[in-house]
Amino acid sequence: MIEYEKVKKIVFLLCFGILVATLSLFVGVSFAEAQLVAPTSPSPSDGATAEQPVILKWSSVEFPGEIAGGYVVEVSGGNLGSNRKSWVQENSFDFRDYFTLAYGLIVNAKHEWRVRACFGFTIPADEEQQCGPWSNKGIYWKFTPTLGKPT
């Protein structure tokens, strides 16, 4: 009877191990095979002026199957200083949602931005493994904020 229980446990552990290995392989293959493309069609376009409030927009990227994804937006210039990264689920970025006035855009000052699609729900720890290429081959799109019309 003892031998039967040992065999039963070994078979269970082997089956469980095979299941875990299969699932791990499936998930690994899904990310490895899923090629994300770089976002295109920037708004504001490269070199343009943008009336405040500025909302950055780009082409949406199709995420395969049920894999969750979003975008890492990197912006620099003005009061933002060096590059600041933010995570968004949609293909647009409204500065009012992410930065206070102290870290906002400066009128008539050059600003730069780029974006990339990534798997997950937040900025991944390993962007090179979980993200597609940067927009515009990594070269920043430039824009200059102008004053908006009074409301």
Residue 88: band (very low, low, confident or very high) from pLDDT cuts 50, 70, 90: very high
What the block records as the tokens of 106 is 């400066």
Supply the pLDDT for residue 11: 52
Supply the pLDDT for residue 2: 59
Q: How far is CA 85 from the centre of its chain?
A: 9
Question: pTM above 0.85?
Answer: no
What pLDDT digit, counting tens, does each position of 25-52 carry? 344 434 434 689 999 999 999 999 999 8
Question: Does 104 score more than 60 pLDDT?
Answer: yes
Q: Is the Cβ–Cβ distance between 136 and 38 less than 8 Å? A: yes
The rounded distance, in Å, linking the Cα atoms of 5 and 104 is 67
